[in-house]
Amino acid sequence: MERWDHRGAVGLLAGVGLDVQDRVKGQLATEQAGRFAGILGGTFAIGNDGNELKLFVQAFARAGTAWAVSAGYRGYFGQERFKTFYDLDGRFDVSPVFTVGPRLGLGLQYEATQTVGVFATLATRIGVGNGVVFNGEIFVGVQLRTYLLE
């Protein structure tokens, strides 16, 4: 019997996307629209529902490179091949300027096999530090899993 949950799985996340960012510092507002982005990280399933803890690095490119690290929780709805999910993360922009804040995402994942999932995520976040930052992002990617912990 095939199963589509992530119980006991350790995974690798990889994806690409686009990012839009507005930064307000003092009386100055800047916009960085249409930055290309990449994501690379890992997941660790917790509990009986297959929900996951995750840690990933994001790189953004447009007139220079920016880096961010996010850590958080992914909760899945359903245990079928198609499932929706939500992301609750803390995001830390580490370069070129430091900001920290919450990230909230919603997505859809299709389990191509028991160890390979394809996903799309729409996320937003607000950060504070070197000004106040608002981001919107969309990613598509793949999750490769192994069931080492089961």
Task: For residue range 108-145, list pLDDT tens digits in order.
Answer: 999 999 999 999 999 999 999 988 999 999 999 999 99
Average pLDDT, the chain: 91
| Window from 55-59, 93-97, 102-106 with minimum mean pLDDT | 93-97
Tell me the domains of the chain and their CATH numbers.
10-146 (2.40.160.20)
Single out the residue of 95, 89, 42 nearest to residue 67, CA to CA: 95
Strand locations in the chain (E): 10-25, 28-45, 52-61, 65-77, 82-95, 99-111, 116-129, 131-146
* Mean pLDDT value across residues 99-114: 96
List pLDDT tens digits, range 49-68.
Answer: 889 999 999 999 977 788 99
List pLDDT tens digits, range 27-50.
Answer: 777 777 788 999 999 999 998 888
Q: What is the value of pTM for the model shown?
A: 0.90
